[in-house]
Structure 1
Amino acid sequence: MTDVMSPEALERALRKIGEERYHNLHPFHKMLHGGRMNFGQVQAWALNRYVYQAAIPRKDAALMARLEDRALRREWIHRIHDHDGIDADSGGIERWLKLTDGLKLDRAYVISQEGALPATKFAVEAYVRFVYERPTLEAIASSLTELFAPAIHAERIAGMLEHYDFISDELVAYFRKRLDQAPRDCRFALAYVQEHARTPEQQAAVLAALRFKTDVLWAQLDALYFAYVEPGFIPPGAFRPAPK
């Protein structure tokens, strides 16, 4: 990149990354949303995805610890509240645990993350570390997968309710809540990135940060596919579904 993009051009470049690299394109998600997974495979997905859900407040707290701007901290802190809960809202992590409860996974086992795939843990921690170590602009840009999240949540709600008799409307409460939360979050993050990415180098770093985040999400599904679909090699110590 040698020229500075306009804010509109930068947004188009960011959205193009989602069109090409977001994990809704992964074969695992296509199987999950299309009803082509068995109960044990859905359990494995929910258990591993909990590792990511549980890490979101930690990565946001890691970012906030470095922010000198009080107004920015005040804006960002609601992301922690969204997941950890505040006042009457039990939070997204609790809603995810309601999903794993409904899938007959022991809650203490899920929270322990003992049965999660090694690659899941490595990918998630790489994301937390990225947000902690990289400049604020890049850390915020990495959250912009939220630009693409509402579509995948809507697809997931419809597909899972249609295809799996063990999924109820109550169990997809996490995704329904994110239909409102994700657009709000990404509006702020996108505006911040458009305002502060002022040089070709900064804009290139912003795009690279979003590509990194899509890689984090994609790697988690690669691991799930390898372990629970094809070739079905489950690492030692990882969750093993009950025999069919």
Structure 2
Amino acid sequence: MNTVTHDNLPWSREEFEAKLREKGQGYHIYHPIHVLMYEGKLTKEQLQCWVANRYYYQIMIPQKDAAVMSNCPDKEVRKGWIHRITDHDGYDGVEGGIEAWLKLSEAVGLSRDQVTSLELVSPGVKFAVDAYVNFARQRPWQESVCSSLTELFAPHIHQQRISSWPAMYPWVKEEGFVYFKKRLTEARRDVEQGLGITLDYFSVSREMQLRALDILQFKLDVLWVIADAIMLASTKIQVEDRDYMRQPVIKFR
């Protein structure tokens, strides 16, 4: 017979939300490459490397969101979730986030062909992003919604770039900031929907709430691994005097 104790009762809705928000301590804003970025210590080539690699994440997000919708039988949820796809893909002549990211690419000195060819994308970035998309395809839609809650922490990192880049990287053209400005409002709207679904679905038991925290940690790990792979791609690695990095080589301090 299972004994119900205070330790295994579900947290209140407020306590559960606070636990989710505490996960922000592991957000990739604290990754060394993002710390260096914020401090203005990346070279032009390093910033270009980051932009080119993150493009792969941008183009796969609509596929992830389409997977969430394909698994979701709730019409009202789908009606709200579809905005995430149009936010990235655009609609009826309105440019989306993918186009805005290409403008960022041009603003940092890359050509569209360089970026859209994916020739600069690290295998590690592809692996991590694909793992996230496959998670959304294979897991219950509510778990995929929960994994999206890294958006809780995104507005701060977008604002950080808008505020710091003009001074730190004055060579970046102003039109490159459109993506970050768009996401300031879009991310907050997305969080409202995703957080509500997560709090409703996972609050039935402490076990389910802990599962939600694990799912959010998985997504945080994906973002951290992406940052790891980009930092590695930006560093010259030599093993027994053999260069294993594709060119061009970008050196960290």
- Residue 33 of structure 1, CA deviation: 1.5
CA 1:9/1:53 → structure 2, altered by over 3 Å: closer, same or farther?
same
Structure 1 residues 180 and 235: alpha-carbon distance in aligned structure 2, compared to 1, 3 A threshold: farther
**1:198-217 to 2 correspondence within 5 Å?**
198-217=204-223
Q: Residue by residue, what CA displacement relative to the aligned partner does 1:41-71 show, whole Å, maximum 9, x if unpaired?
A: 0000000000101111000001111111111
Report which structure shows greater RCO (CA 8 Å, sep ≥6).
1
Report if aligned partners of 1:60, 1:76 keep a CA contact under 8 Å in 2. Answer: yes
Go from structure 1 to structure 2 and tell me whether the alpha carbon gap of 1:80 and 1:206 turns closer, same or farther (over 3 Å shift).
same
User: CA, structure 1 residues 160+191, in 2 after alignment: closer, same or farther (shift >3 Å)?
Assistant: same
Report 1:1-244 matches (<5 A). 2-18=8-24, 20-197=25-202, 198-229=204-235, 236-237=245-246, 240=249
Deviations 1:176-205 (A, max 9, x none): 010000001001110111111112222112
- Are the aligned partners of 1:117 and 1:235 in contact in 2 as well (CA < 8 Å)? no
Q: Answer whether contact 1:137 1:206 (CA < 8 A) is retained.
A: no
Deviations 1:143-166 (A, max 9, x none): 001110000100011111111121
Aligned equivalents of 1:137 and 1:152: distance in 2?
25
Q: Structure 1 residue 229: deviation in Å?
A: 4.3
Give runs of ≥4 in structure 1 deviating > 6 Å: none
Instruction: Count residues in correspondence.
Output: 241
Distance in 2 of aligned mates of 1:158 and 1:104:
20
Structure 2: unaligned runs, 5 residues or longer: 1-6
Question: TM-score, normalized by length of structure 2?
Answer: 0.90
RMSD: 1.9
- Measure, in 2, the Cα distance between the counterparts of 1:53 and 1:89: 17
> TM-score normalized by structure 1?
0.93
Structure 1: segments with no counterpart, 5+ residues: none
Q: For the residues of structure 2 that align with 1:46 and 1:131, how far apart are their CA atoms?
A: 24
